[in-house]
Chain A
Amino acid sequence: MYRAVNWGLMLLTLASAVGLYAIKYSTRQLEGRVQKQERRLEAAENDVTVLMAERAHLARPERLEPLARALGLVPIGSGQYLRIDGSEAPAPPPRPAPQSK
């Protein structure tokens, strides 16, 4: 009788050990997936930061101004402001270019 109980308990212990191992293995797998996702998230965050910095670099006024001037655009002037009812006074003539030395 005791021998049977002992065998039963031993098998139960072995089964528990196998079960525990399986759970641990699956936990480790999940942890690995979480870490992988965290790394991907970090990489994506870094990519977003780099892209934002690149966008700011490409949109810097120093770069845009010559491009805009090449397209015939000029800085906004007071003459471009109008009242909706058209009752504004006439715009002053544009300022002449400064004299060069």
Chain B
Amino acid sequence: MTAATIIIPMPRAGDGARPAPGAVARQRRRTLLTLGGMLACLALIGGQLVRLGLRGGPDIRMSLAEPLAKSWSRPDIVDRHGRLIATDIALHSLYADQQLILDLDEVVEKIGAALPGVDAAELRKSLADKSRRFAWVARGLSPRQAQRVHTLGLPGLAFRSELKRAYPLGALGGHLVGTVNVDNKGIAGAERMLDDTGRAEAVQGPGRTLKGPVRLALDIGVQHALGEELKQASTRYSATGAAGLVLDAAKGEIVAAVSLPEADPSRPADWLDPARADRLAGGTYELGSIFKVLTIAMALETGAADLDRIVDVRQPLSTGPYTIRDLHPPGRPLSMREVFLYSSNVGAGMLALEMGAEAQRAFLGRLGLTEAMRTEAGPIAPPLLPKTWGRTETVTIGYGHGLALAPLQFAAAIASLVNGGLQIAPTVLAGAEPGERRRVVSAATSAQICELMRLNVTHAAGTGRRAEVEDYRVGGKTGTAEMPGRGGYREKAVISSFVGAFPMDAPQYVTLVLLFEPQSGEGSGTGITAGLNAAPVTARIVERIAPLLGVLPRRVEAGVP
């Protein structure tokens, strides 16, 4: 245009010669023609814009719908030593543009043959809707599956790359790790924590997050050892389920947590199966005699009794409709130490009664056992408190019935008792700062509880003597709690448990083992009581995990005696 204007010969000043009249008219016609052409072009562009604006319709809406199919990019999850637990992998996902599909029958038939996991009826239904231009066909395809579909050459189908969570360790630590949904969004456990704390990012396509890995407190070596020993114990004692926990007594870090049967993070449906529910954090149980640790601690802390105090347990204790008896009545008064060693229900009930319901509730409240608790991975099942906390409830709670707790919450309370008396909160993250910690019992009470727990394992009369691991100074308390059923308690269905700690001279770790409905074997040394099953299982676990946790054997630490 500019060049055309320049090359038009214009009359020059002082030239004197006038252009021919025909030439001027020609120039004017050319100019008008050019302007007309430009106006026509502008009119065309304007008309097209108006048409697009007025038309609107499904085309524009469809083009917006597709990018909304986003997914979440998540940081890796590693264990306390940096070993990989979960990571994002880019995989192909297959989608369809319904308007570009030429032969629906062919697509459904060929996709059904290439990808057997796809529901043909569901696929037909979603692809038949021609008003839409986007529908997922299959997500998270392996490279081989994607190639198989690609070679079919079906029009209307296309791939997009998406992130999918991979769990290379399978079900190991599954309940703690949690799982994600089909959009890679966390729905349980530590995975949900990543979403709740903003560590997971919404992305279009396979954009990987630049955030560093999240380090769990979990030690996969310890987790595996605990799981293996519990699986063997579950088979050996024909238990319907088992659970175990290893907790750092000072920091509250959950080093290992197993609940059998396990839940596999790569199968989100496991989280909907009640049989695979997490028994440590997701269920509450009346834990039985392991609760006596709390009753004795309460008596010691309030100054109501010392370890040499004599309690007359010769007669059964009657309260309300119940008569409380001891499993093996000693037939003589017992000292507080012996109440613990013999696991006397009558003794624990009498001590609880002496201190009263208010003091009991206040003490349990101080340990954080009367209110709901949570970890970063989600809430722990809240405690089931008695509707009325009267005389009967005070007695039964004294020996572990009438108040149902999540085992994780109970283990945290025991850790607070044995670590010198400072309250800890269970955490799934490694290296979390515990902050200002509240004292729940005095250091003296904590030391006495440690002494009792160790005595229960080393003394010939102790119910926990089968938990002894000489080199690691295990201490603990057994519990055999009848499970509630219709119309009362089921005598032969029990939860056998052992809450322990090691090394007992300065406890570093708290362990909790639960066997659900163990069966009695044949011959001596077998039975359903915890001293015969949960205690020896704890010994095997401690023997195996203590070296992994760097706890030095006593004979090496102390040298030749």
Binding site for B on A (CB under 8 A): 3, 6, 9-10, 13, 42, 45-46, 49-50, 52-57, 59-62, 65, 75-78, 80-83, 87-92, 95, 98-101
Whether the pair A98, B536 counts as a contact (CB closer than 8 A) is yes
B89 touches which one: A3, A49, A61 (CB < 8 A)? A49
Whether the pair B555, A88 counts as a contact (CB closer than 8 A) is yes
User: Residue of A at shortest CB range from B470?
Assistant: A92
How long is the Cα–Cα vector from A91 to B225 in the complex, in angstroms? 22
Whether the pair B561, A77 counts as a contact (CB closer than 8 A) is no
Q: Is B187 an interface residue (CB 8 A)?
A: no
A61 touches which one: B6, B220, B543, B552 (CB < 8 A)? B220
Whether the pair A99, B525 counts as a contact (CB closer than 8 A) is yes
- The interface centre, meaning the residue of A6, A49, A76, A78 with most chain B CB atoms within 10 A of its CB, is A78
Whether the pair B7, A53 counts as a contact (CB closer than 8 A) is no
CB-CB under 8 A from B237, the residues of chain A are: 101
How long is the Cα–Cα vector from A46 to B205 in the complex, in angstroms? 13
Whether the pair B558, A89 counts as a contact (CB closer than 8 A) is yes
CB-CB under 8 A from B374, the residues of chain A are: none
Contact pattern, B 7-23, Cβ under 8 Å of A = 1, otherwise 0: 10000000000000000
User: Residue of B at shortest CB range from A10?
Assistant: B3
Contact pattern, B 545-561, Cβ under 8 Å of A = 1, otherwise 0: 01110001101101111
Whether the pair A61, B172 counts as a contact (CB closer than 8 A) is yes
Instruction: Beyond A46-B206, A75-B544, list 16 extra A-B contacts (CB 8 Å).
Output: A10-B7, A49-B90, A50-B89, A53-B166, A53-B168, A55-B84, A59-B83, A60-B170, A61-B172, A78-B472, A80-B547, A81-B547, A88-B553, A91-B471, A98-B232, A100-B236
* Tier of interface size on chain B: 35 or more
A82-B556, A101-B236 as given contacts; A62 in contact with B3, CB under 8 Å? no
Whether the pair A45, B208 counts as a contact (CB closer than 8 A) is yes
B559 touches which one: A10, A65, A83 (CB < 8 A)? A83
Whether the pair A88, B548 counts as a contact (CB closer than 8 A) is no
Whether the pair A89, B561 counts as a contact (CB closer than 8 A) is yes
Whether the pair A101, B238 counts as a contact (CB closer than 8 A) is yes
Q: Is B370 an interface residue (CB 8 A)?
A: no
Whether the pair A95, B3 counts as a contact (CB closer than 8 A) is no
Whether the pair B471, A92 counts as a contact (CB closer than 8 A) is yes
Q: Is B539 an interface residue (CB 8 A)?
A: yes
Whether the pair A90, B555 counts as a contact (CB closer than 8 A) is yes
CB-CB under 8 A from A61, the residues of chain B are: 172, 220-221, 224-225
Whether the pair B236, A98 counts as a contact (CB closer than 8 A) is yes
User: Residue of A at shortest CB range from B9?
Assistant: A3
Ordered by A's residue number, 11 sampled pairs between the chains whose C-beta atoms are within 8 Å are A6-B6, A10-B7, A42-B206, A49-B88, A53-B166, A54-B168, A78-B543, A78-B553, A92-B555, A95-B543, A101-B526
Contact pattern, B 89-118, Cβ under 8 Å of A = 1, otherwise 0: 110000000000000000000000000000
How long is the Cα–Cα vector from A65 to B228 in the complex, in angstroms? 10
B540 touches which one: A3, A9, A98 (CB < 8 A)? A98
Whether the pair B526, A99 counts as a contact (CB closer than 8 A) is yes
Whether the pair B521, A57 counts as a contact (CB closer than 8 A) is no
CB-CB under 8 A from B472, the residues of chain A are: 78
Least CB distance, A81 to chain B, in whole angstroms: 4
Q: Is B523 an interface residue (CB 8 A)?
A: yes
Least CB distance, A20 to chain B, in whole angstroms: 15
Whether the pair A75, B225 counts as a contact (CB closer than 8 A) is yes
User: Residue of A at shortest CB range from B83?
Assistant: A56
CB-CB under 8 A from A78, the residues of chain B are: 471-472, 543, 546-547, 553, 555-556
A62-B224, A88-B559 as given contacts; A57 in contact with B232, CB under 8 Å? no
A65 touches which one: B3, B6, B224 (CB < 8 A)? B224
